[in-house]
Structure 1
Amino acid sequence: MANIDQTTAVGIAAATPRSLAAVLPVVIFGCLAVIPILSTFGAETYLLGIAIRIMIFAIAALSLDLLVGYGAMTSFGHAAFIGIGAYAVGILSAHGVGDALIALPVALAASGLFALISGFICLRTKGAYFLMITLAFGQMVFFTASSLSIYGGDDGMTIYDRSTIAGWDILENDRVLYYLVFLSLLGIYLLCRSIVASRFGRALRGTKENPTRMATIGFKVFRFQLTAYVIAGMMAGLAGFLLANATNFVSPAYMSWQRSGELLIMIILGGTGRLIGAIIGSAVFLILEEWLAGITEHWKMIFGPLLVLAVLFVPGGLIGIGNRLFGRAERD
């Protein structure tokens, strides 16, 4: 009887992380779906604005987690793709092209092309060299945007109207924009899950664990990594497209190395290699940032040490803590 109880306890403990992984996405997306309804009882514009920003950066964090968590490609220039997607919207709008059916494909194509070119070069390096060359490419795009005086230069540019959809200006309604961003996040999350679970995803994880062995058994490691890099770049370009429409503004700051660092912190905070962790990390990061900024103008002096402590003492991120607490509760 004791053996049976022990076996049952082990089985519950082993199943716990899977149970948490199955429940969390439903809870998170369920909460996001009802925020516009709940916002009617409070500061609607403020709440929708915060939630939209969280979801947009969650899309960008998911794309980076696909590289870092599953391909061991730690990029320090990932925000460049966000900026490219945003500038595609801004530049087209400045020339009188404001339809999403044109702007979105251009944003995705531009970010994907830059990912293909930069990835082709960056992926021939490893480790710290890869980190530094992605930073170099990111800064190259940043300074290029800063030098475009016709499009605002350092000051950025204002987008006076949100993108239309087949001529309809439905995105001017904040709730419509909210649900567009929500569906985009849900779609990107499901796409990333499908990629990770596919043969391509398993091969990508293999290149993370032992690229030499993968190459020895016949896998084209470079092709798998470059494909993942381009996919991630296009996802971040989508985030840029949505961000430009949400803020009605584009700026070189969207693609700075600081923004890339923030994306890395988001996925580390949530739990690297756990897709839902990227969403949680984005939410916690941005909510903490907003809350502390409301307390003091020197909020970064508080925020910085908190992030350092989280990285040092929260192994596996917030998802790791949840797994341990959930497992302990099940066993108790």
Structure 2
Amino acid sequence: MSAVDAIAETPAVATPLPKRRPIIALALFALLALLPLAVALGLPAHWLTLVTRALIFAIAALSLDLILGIGGLVSFGHAVFIGIGAYVTGIMITEGQAEALLILPVIAVASGLFAAVTGAVSLRTRGVAFIMITLAFGQMGFFLAQALSAYGGDDGLTLYQRSTVAGFDLFANRTGFYYIVLGALAGCYWLVGTIVASRFGRVLRAARENPTRVTVTGYDVGRVRLIAYVISGVIAGLSGFFLANHTEFVSPAFMSWQRSGELIFMVVLGGVGSLHGAIIGALAFLFAEDVLASYTEHWKAIFGPLIVLFVLFTRGGIVGILGKLRGGRDD
């Protein structure tokens, strides 16, 4: 069995104790909400910027966890949706339309259509074939972005303003932007959690375990997976919107295969199938990256082996470790 197949077949840790999920999630979001206060009291100011970036990627990791952790679909091109959201944002701002209430629907339509078309093709395959075809579609988006010479091409696109909300420049304030991203993450967490707990979510999870049996019971497994794939793509597109506004720069690198790999690492690091694990994994990944980068420019040579060792010698990611320390399993 390959490593990617092992990830896809790892039992989701989001099943056993649903009553714990709201408590853990509330505690996690409460701690995140207190970060600006901690910065005001003396915590290094760059932490707010770092955590904002981590929360943006947590939205993307959460979207990936819906199809990977719950649906068992290992997508290696998921970052393309981040790129779609970022480029729609960058292009519209460059063309003089910075209103978020107009940008977000365009992102939802663009991400949803791309997910529907590519998903309809990709989901005809399984296992390594699915991984490779999603990688191919992701690289197609990457090279398309490089070809957009009118919007920076390979050099990327610099944004000279951020999006506005109903005419108000809410993203200009760093703390305000942080809370908007945190609120969006909480909303996505609630949405994905509601989907997972619904009949649709149970069918998606059952299709992961035994698609033939689910088909026999009368459900269209392909349709269920495609809907989940589209929802996942739209949520990831939202993270691209925030990433473009956060960095004030858009680049083809946003949708590279390396970025897709990082999203998978975030999900695995936190705990495959655990929704708050995706958030914890994104936070841990970005913090580890920041700490190692502060010591050496060759931090990736250290970080890569650490990730491999972590995956090999732990089960259930950080959430699984915390569950063992408590003497039980976590959601």
**CA displacement at 1:44 relative to structure 2:** 6.1
Matches within 5 A, 1:284-299: 284-299=284-299
Q: Is the 8 A contact 1:156 1:250 kept in 2?
A: yes
In the aligned structure 2, how far is the partner of 1:42 from the partner of 1:63? 34
In the aligned structure 2, how far is the partner of 1:23 from the partner of 1:103? 34
1:133 aligns with 2:126: no
Matches within 5 A, 1:105-254: 105-254=105-254
Matches within 5 A, 1:1-332: 21-42=21-42, 45-327=45-327
**CA displacement at 1:171 relative to structure 2:** 1.3
Greater shift, 319-328 or 78-87, is seen at 319-328
In the aligned structure 1, how far is the partner of 2:35 from the partner of 2:124? 44
Unmatched runs of 5 consecutive residues or more in structure 2: 1-15
Looking at CA atoms only, which structure, 1 or 2, has the larger radius of gyration?
1
Q: Is the 8 A contact 1:17 1:327 kept in 2?
A: no
Q: What RMSD, in angstroms, separates the aligned Cα atoms of the two structures? A: 1.6
SS in 1 for 2:187: helix
In the aligned structure 2, how far is the partner of 1:74 from the partner of 1:176? 35
Change (3 A) 1:328 1:227: closer
With the length of structure 2 as denominator, give the TM-score of the two structures.
0.92
In the aligned structure 2, how far is the partner of 1:22 from the partner of 1:43? 28
Q: Is the 8 A contact 1:20 1:326 kept in 2?
A: no
SS in 2 for 1:207: helix
What's 1:13 paired with? none
**CA displacement at 1:262 relative to structure 2:** 0.3
Unmatched runs of 5 consecutive residues or more in structure 1: 1-15
With the length of structure 1 as denominator, give the TM-score of the two structures.
0.92
In the aligned structure 2, how far is the partner of 1:44 from the partner of 1:297? 21
**CA displacement at 1:197 relative to structure 2:** 0.3
SS in 1 for 2:171: helix
Partner amino acid for 2:242?
A: L
Partner amino acid for 1:265?
A: F
Q: Is the 8 A contact 1:20 1:323 kept in 2?
A: no
Change (3 A) 1:309 1:101: same
Moved over 3 A (4+): 16-23, 42-45
Partner amino acid for 2:287?
A: I
In the aligned structure 2, how far is the partner of 1:328 from the partner of 1:57? 28
Higher helix proportion, which one?
1
Task: Describe the superposition over 1:264-286 as per-residue Cα deviations: whole angstroms up to 9, x where unpaired.
Answer: 00000111011011011111110
Q: Is the 8 A contact 1:36 1:44 kept in 2?
A: no
**CA displacement at 1:19 relative to structure 2:** 6.8
In the aligned structure 2, how far is the partner of 1:192 from the partner of 1:201? 9
